[in-house]
Chains A and B, each alone.
Chain A
């Protein structure tokens, strides 16, 4: 059983997960550096699957590298690039190397990336991919062909509490839970009222304790990445006041940090929330500062 699964299903502890930066050239050297910054802070780290529709080192290779480097991978799978046969192959391949945590996403469209002329696949959608994972976990491929022994899998999905249609998002949580998702990482949300409504909705739907909600916060250095996310990342809207607060500060870097800390504390105080996902665009020691300020004690493992 993975640490993430153990903590979420057997304890009441708050979990922390993070996004592993995408890798390109000189990937193993860079992976080692990232792993050194992350090690000991997180219960699981996401190995992304061609984020924002840009090709990078694959989710499978990144997951395996993380295992070798002493991090617990959460392997993301998106629906954009591969059909159901390739998705199943990737999961059993990762399972071969002991990867246990999986998270299913629809994925950004190809037009969000640098090769918008590519064919989009979307053979499955997000909830169908969750059920595909459940099928493998039961010891069968989708066709019914036996997978023996069944891989040990802890299955998750994602949701965006900050994009319309807002009320319907909670019903999507119920659908993903029914398909087998046990945890849900949320898209970055700069509208606290939307996150509050979403979490209250999940609780009212009787899903508290059944599916662990893990909101996301981002570490940025200033207002520029906020402008970028607001203008260019599908499904992320940042209120002008939040951007201005960083942009007009005498120390934008410090203001950005305080904003993140505030959003992190707010998210952790919501019902059904069991942890926090951190996307670090700063790549400096602010990550340590945030974790310490959130009361986390680094567990330094020796390999």
Chain B
């Protein structure tokens, strides 16, 4: 069943968002732009190498996913909570979830798990 849902998710999200099946989807908080398409897989904003035309340092033919994500956050009628979440610090990827369904991990809250040390630092910083 889990494999079937993962396949379904890939069929739906692959062509539209270039989904890489990280298993912990953050699309809604990144301006509906999948950060796993960034060659450096940056989940917290662009690197310092963005070109003058807003394209990627590594792939000059591709627009930086964060340039796109930022513009969409400004221009698209996304819910305000999603727009606010754009600036949140997203935790490191849990590599164990790769290839699985983020839909299942969302409903089971498995995608909310972070390592203890990370969680303690987050709680202290209040974000």
User: Number of residues in A with C-beta < 8 Å to the partner?
Assistant: 47
The reply to whether B52 and A237 form a contact with Cβ atoms under 8 Å apart is yes
- Choice from A109, A123, A178 contacting B39 with Cβ under 8 Å: A109
A140 and B120 within 8 A (CB) = yes
Which of B47, B50, B57, B118 has the most CB atoms of chain A within a 10 A radius of its CB? B47
Which of B10-18, B85-93, B97-105 touches A? B85-93
Contact B66 A179 (CB under 8 A): no
A180 touches B44 (CB 8 A): no
Q: By the criterion of a CB under 8 Å from any partner CB, how many residues of chain B are at the interface?
A: 41
Interchain Cβ contacts under 8 Å between A and B, 16 examples: A109-B40, A122-B41, A125-B40, A126-B47, A128-B89, A138-B117, A143-B116, A159-B48, A160-B48, A163-B52, A164-B67, A165-B54, A165-B67, A165-B70, A179-B89, A234-B51
User: Could you say which of A33-41, A65-73, A166-174, A207-215 contacts chain B?
Assistant: A166-174
* Tally of A-B Cβ pairs under 8 angstroms: 138
- A120 — which chain B residues lie within 8 A by C-beta? 39-40
Bound-complex Cα distance A143 to B118 (A): 7
CB distance from A131 to the nearest CB of B (A): 6
A145: Cβ under 8 A from any B Cβ:
yes
Binding site for A on B (CB under 8 A): 39-52, 54, 57-58, 64, 66-67, 70-71, 87, 89-93, 95, 115-122, 124-127
Partner pick for B48 among A123, A163, A180, CB 8 A cutoff: A163
In the bound complex, CA of A71 to CA of B15 (Å): 53
Given contacts A109-B40, A122-B42, A171-B87, contact A138 B121 (CB under 8 A): yes
Q: Which chain B residues border A159 with CB–CB below 8 Å?
A: 48
Whether A138 pairs with B124 at a CB distance below 8 angstroms is yes
Whether B40 and A178, one on each chain, are in contact in the complex, defined by CB atoms closer than 8 angstroms, is no
With A131-B121, A140-B117, A168-B66 in contact, is A106–B52 under 8 Å at CB?
Answer: no
The answer, among B45, B57, B64, for a CB contact under 8 Å with A109, is B57
Chain B residue with the shortest CB-CB distance to A177 = B125
Contact of B117 among A79, A108, A144, A168 (CB under 8 A): A144
By beta carbon, the residue of chain A nearest B45 is A172
CA distance A175 to B40 in the complex (A): 19
